[in-house]
Each structure stands twice: as structure tokens, then as C-alpha cells.
Structure 1
Amino acid sequence: MPNVGGHRVLMRANDGIHMSMAGYLRLSSPVAARDRRWVSRAILTATVFMLVFNAVSPLNWSRQQPPRWVPETARALSETWTRQVSVFGVDMPRQGAREIWDAARDARFIGQDPKTGGGSTPAKAQTTPSALAPSRTEVR
């Protein structure tokens, strides 16, 4: 609230020590607006980053769901999006990280028998266009 000289001063409660709610809202509203803008930009940036560099995750999710309208629609959209994004090679870092993980998982000490059992993840992830082909499941 401006004083006699036109300068802004804190709006105090009647006890002279604590700020009133109106004063608090007046001081915090520009900060809250700036924080909302910052968080909105951070969420938008993360969403775009994940859509480009982790495009296969919605596809994997949709393949694990029972055949219904939402998973089938998500699968169709994800297959198209994954094909379009892979043209630019943005899936290469993910594939490289996957190959490093597979090599580390399959590594053995000298004299150790080769791996015989299956792990928690498949040995080779199929990222070829044939792996992205639509499945022949009936939606009822």
C-alpha cells in the first residue's frame, strides 16, 4: 500500500508486527506468477524432450495392455511417431545405451560359463520396422 510519499510499504496487521493477508498476497503474487511460468516451461521442455528422445516408451506401454480402444490408439500413434522420429536418428542414443547395457549384462569373468538363463529384460530389443508392424489382435 503506498504511503503519503507514494512509496510502497508493507501492509501490517493491527499488532504492528505481522503482515496482513492482503499484504502477503500483494507481495507474493508477482513471485507466484513467475514461479508458475518457470514450472510450466520446465514441464513443457521435459515433455518435448521425452517425446523426441524416449518415443518408444508409450509404444512399449501400449503393447503390455489388454486390447482396448485407448491402448490400441496409443499403439497406432506411437508406431507412427516412432517411425517419424527415427528418420532423424534421435533414437540412436537410446539404442547405444541399450547395447552397452546388453554387453554389460552378458559379460562374464574369465573361465565363467556363458549365460544360460533369461534375465529380467530381453537380450535384444527389436527396433526394426517389422517390430513396429501392427499386431493382428482383434478388439472386441
Structure 2
Amino acid sequence: MTTEPDEGPRHLHTPADHLRLAADPATGEDVLRGLSQSPYPFVWQALAANPNTPPAVLGRLCSQRDSTWNDNLLVARIACHPRADRTVLRGLLDELRDRLMAGDRPFAAVLALAERVEVTPDEILGLARLPGASARLRRGVRSRLAGRAAVGE
């Protein structure tokens, strides 16, 4: 018995269908764009982990909110994503600034951003200086920036 392939989000019947397509690296960019409108945080996570998710979708995902744990994992995945360009990372930087100021602790995303050459050391240090940043985060940021400088020499 064979089944017809899904043509896009209009043929999704269950949350598992959304997740399967969002996680599949063979899923086309148009379908991934449609999936970014999903109400399911696990779909957002899968999109942020899919190496073929386009930058525009990653940018849209930066501000998605569900729960602290899911939100922090999502922004950390976006910060590490290979297709997250300067525009996406700049938006993520702004989002992380807001979250730190609100008392959230998206530390993994801040540390991942510190390793990205698309973001300047001054931009990262600005996050580390915010009231919501811990001493441990500041040490981690300095360490990652130092490692980045050593590689660039």
C-alpha cells in the first residue's frame, strides 16, 4: 500500500504530522514557512533544529512564547542554527535583551551567540552587563569571546 506524500500544511491532520514535516530536512522551504504558524511549541523546536529552515522562519520564531523551558531551548537552537544570518541574530539579540531585562534566563542562547562571528563582542558584552545576567554568564561570555579571538588570530 502506498500513500501520497504530503503537499504541505493543508494536509496535516495531527500534531505528529506537523512535527514530522518540521523535523524532516527534505521538507521544502514553503512548507517550513507554513509550519512556522503552528501553535505547537514542539514544532517550533523542530523547525529551529532543522538545518534547512530559512532565515525568515528563524527570525519569526525568535519571539514565540510558550513556557520558560521551551522558550529558552528555542532561542538557544536559533542561536546555533547554521542558516541564522546577521539579521536573524540581530533580532535574537534584541529578544534576549528583553528576556534578560524581564528576569528570564536564556543563558544558553547568550553563550551560543558569543561564539557567532556575525555578532560583535560589544553586542554580546552588552547582554552580559544587563541586570538579569549572572556572574557565571559573564564569565562564560568572556571565555567564549576569548576563544573566538584566539581562533581568529
TM bracket, shorter-chain basis: 0.3 to 0.5
TM (norm. structure 1) is 0.34
Could you say which structure has the higher helix fraction?
A: 2
* TM-score (structure 2 length as normaliser): 0.32
